[in-house]
Amino acid sequence: MLALPEKSILLVEDSNLTRFSSRRTLEEKGYLVDEAASGQEALVKARGKGEPYDLVILDIHLPGMDGLGVLENLKRLPEYRYVPVMVVTVESNVAVVRRAIELGAVEYLCKPYSLEELVRRVEKLIGPGARGEAAPTGLLHKVLRNEINRASRGGLNVALVLARSERLGKGKIGECARQARRRLREIDTVIELSKSTLAIVLPHTGKEGAQVVTTKLEGFLSFSTLN
C-alpha cells in the first residue's frame, strides 16, 4: 500500500550510497524525501521549510555537529517539538540511544539495516497503518496527555485554547499558526486542527493567563478556552 503522498521525510545521512538507496526506496513507497548530508544542512532545511516534515530520519554519526546536537536543536523549534524523529546508529549503544530518546527521538535503527526494515519502521510511524499520532487530532491528544501528566505531577495548570476564524481563505490557517507561534512562548504548542481552527496548548497557564493569550491574538481569531 502506498503512503499518503503528502507525507514528507527529511533524511539526514552523510553516506552518499546509504542516502541514495534509502531515498529511492522511500520515494518508491510514495513518500516525499528531502536529504541532508550534514547536521547544519539538516537544520537549515528544517527551518526553511514552510510546513514541518512529517518525519526526520537522523544519523547519529555526522561530520561537524553530530546527530544528537541536531536533535537537540531541532526539538527547540516549536513546530518540530512533536514531529517524530528516528535516529540511526552504527551499533546499539545504550547510552547514545537513551540520550536520543531523552532529547525527543521516538525510534532508532541500527546499521547495517535492510531497506525493508527501514520501510517497516517508517510506516509504523507515519504510514497508512500508523496509530494517528501525526494527524492533527492525534497530535493534540498526545500533547495534552503529556502536558496534563506533567502538570499533575507538579501541581501546575495547563490550558487549551481553541481559536477559530471563518474568514480565512484556502491555506491561510498555516499563516495564522505561524503568527500565533511568533506571539507565544517556546513551551506553547500551536496545532492546526482544520482549515479554520487552531488548538493552542499552554503549559503552566491558568484562566487568567489564557485570557492574556487570547488578547494577544485578537483581531484575526475568536476563542474558547478550556483549563
Quick check: 23 and 35 in contact, CB under 8 A? yes
Quick check: 213 and 205 in contact, CB under 8 A? yes
47-89 pLDDT tens trace: 998 889 999 999 999 999 999 999 999 988 878 877 889 999 8
C-alpha cell of residue 102: 531523552
Tell me the sheet residues that pair with 59: 88
Share of the chain above pLDDT 70, in %: 83
Largest CA distance in the chain: 55
Quick check: 226 and 162 in contact, CB under 8 A? yes
- Give the residue-averaged pLDDT of 24-46: 95
For 136-226, which CATH class? alpha beta
CATH architecture of 8-126: 3-Layer(aba) Sandwich (3.40)
CA distance 110 to 175: 38
CA distance 219 to 70: 37
Strand spans (E) along 63-196? 85-89, 107-110, 158-164, 189-192
Quick check: 191 and 143 in contact, CB under 8 A? yes
Task: Establish whether the linkage from the previous residue to 112 is cis, with ω within 30° of 0.
Answer: yes
Using pLDDT thresholds of 50, 70 and 90, give the confidence band for residue 129: low
C-alpha cell of residue 17: 550510497
Query: Domain ranges in the chain?
Result: 8-126, 136-226
Residue 20: predicted pLDDT: 96
Phi-psi region of 64 (alpha: psi -120 to 50; beta: other; left: phi over 0): left
Residue in this structure with the C-alpha cell 553530530, named with its chain if needed? 66
pTM reported for the whole predicted model: 0.60
